[in-house]
Amino acid sequence: METPPLLAARRVLVTGADGFLGRTVIAALSRMPDIQHVVALDVREVPAERRVPGVVYAVQDVRTPQIGETIGGHAIDTVVHLASIVTPGPGSTRQFEYSVDVLGTRNVLEACIANGVGHIVVSSSGAAYGYHADNPAWIDESNALRGNQAFAYSHHKRLVEEMLAAYRVSHPALRQTVLRIGTILGENVHNQITALFEKPRILAIRGSDSPFVFIWDEDVTGCVIHAITTGRAGCFNVAGDGALSLSQIASILHKPMLVLPAGLLKMALAIGSHLGLTRYGPEQLDFLRYRPVLSNKRLKDEFGYVPRKTSLEAFLAFKAARDAREQQQPARASA
């Protein structure tokens, strides 16, 4: 099968443009002299104070058929698809999340094909590999995608990747760059994982090291921009060098560890979920103890991007930012 020729990106559309990653990507694109036109799509109106001069902002759901009209009307040649539900809000349903993550992605792909877009960059996740006891110590891009059905985000990322693989065969003219992103840390990043590190004690499961690979948020943006500027296609794990065990994390944070047997924690999660004390059910046990540890060898050797921060450096920078905020709070209170 003949590979389509590389064409330089000039007119770029970004979905999920007002997410924390979308905002940094939009800002970076606006500074690139070779990019002539940037369209930022989000399901909500972007406040004026967060808008970048020269960027066209539009309110549009990735599930709407009108997205094709937007792509065609702006003569878009490159799409960065970031829209996804990572942390569901109150009242969210599995059906709604599927409609955004999976059906929304299909809608974007069809709109790209109908309007002759040459390149799409998709933010996937290491969660697409799944949380399994038999995961290899280091997962590379040749390993199977086994996103667990118990976790909506993991399962949907797997379904999206299976869809993308089918489109690579049926529509090879649409070049794909798929970024399987690890746990993102940044100065202002707050997610399910960082919430674990804010607890008085670091929760661990007996018999499991639960290693984490981290990627600094600026490196994720760097990978997206690298994909746009090089046009390099393929599927790539996005993670910093090395990994940190929970015991190492606890030591860096100067916090004790709370080590619980898997059976006890599973029972506690089941009871807490049933009583409405927590939104996490017993299935979250595997999320904690069987984390996919992403190898970034292909990212560096084939994609050509070397993360500026290792997993350790990203975590230390995250801790430094957190410590600085805590030091500022008493100062503000006494002012």
Note whether 84 and 101 are within 8 A (CB).
yes
- Checking if the pLDDT of 253 tops 80, the result is yes
Average pLDDT over residues 248-270: 87
Residues 122-126, mean pLDDT to the nearest whole number: 98
What per-residue confidence (pLDDT) applies to 186? 94
- The tokens describing 194, both together, are 């960082």
Task: Assign 161 to helix, strand or coil.
Answer: helix
Residue 333 has pLDDT above 50, yes or no: no
pLDDT tens digit sequence for 203-238: 888 888 779 999 999 999 999 999 999 999 999 999
Higher pLDDT, 208 or 124: 124
Of residues 329 and 43, more confidently modeled? 43
pLDDT value at 313 more than 80: yes
Element of type H or E holding 155: helix 152-170
Give the per-residue pLDDT at 335: 47
Which amino acid does the sequence have at 269?
L
Query: At how many degrees (to 10) do helices 246-253 and 311-334 cross?
Result: 30
**Pairwise CA distance, residues 25 & 78, whole Å:** 13
pLDDT band at 190 (very low <50, low <70, confident <90, very high): confident
Kindly tell me if the per-residue pLDDT of 179 is higher than 80: yes
pLDDT value of position 280 = 63
Task: List the domain boundaries for the chain.
Answer: 11-185+216-239+294-307
pTM given for the model = 0.92
Q: Which of 223, 202, 207, 222 is nearest to 319 (CA)?
A: 202
The token pair at 183 is 């746990």
Distances (CA, A) of 44 to 17, 23, 166, 313: 10, 13, 31, 34
Segment 109-114 shows an average pLDDT of: 98
The answer to whether residues 234 and 300 touch, using CB atoms and an 8 Å cutoff, is no
Which residue is it, tokens 């992605």? Answer: 105
Q: Is the pLDDT reported for residue 61 higher than 60?
A: yes
CATH architecture group of domain 11-185+216-239+294-307 = 3-Layer(aba) Sandwich (3.40)
Rounded Cα distance between 117 and 203, Å, is 46
Give the pLDDT confidence of 11-36 residue by residue, as tens digits: 999 999 999 999 999 999 999 999 99
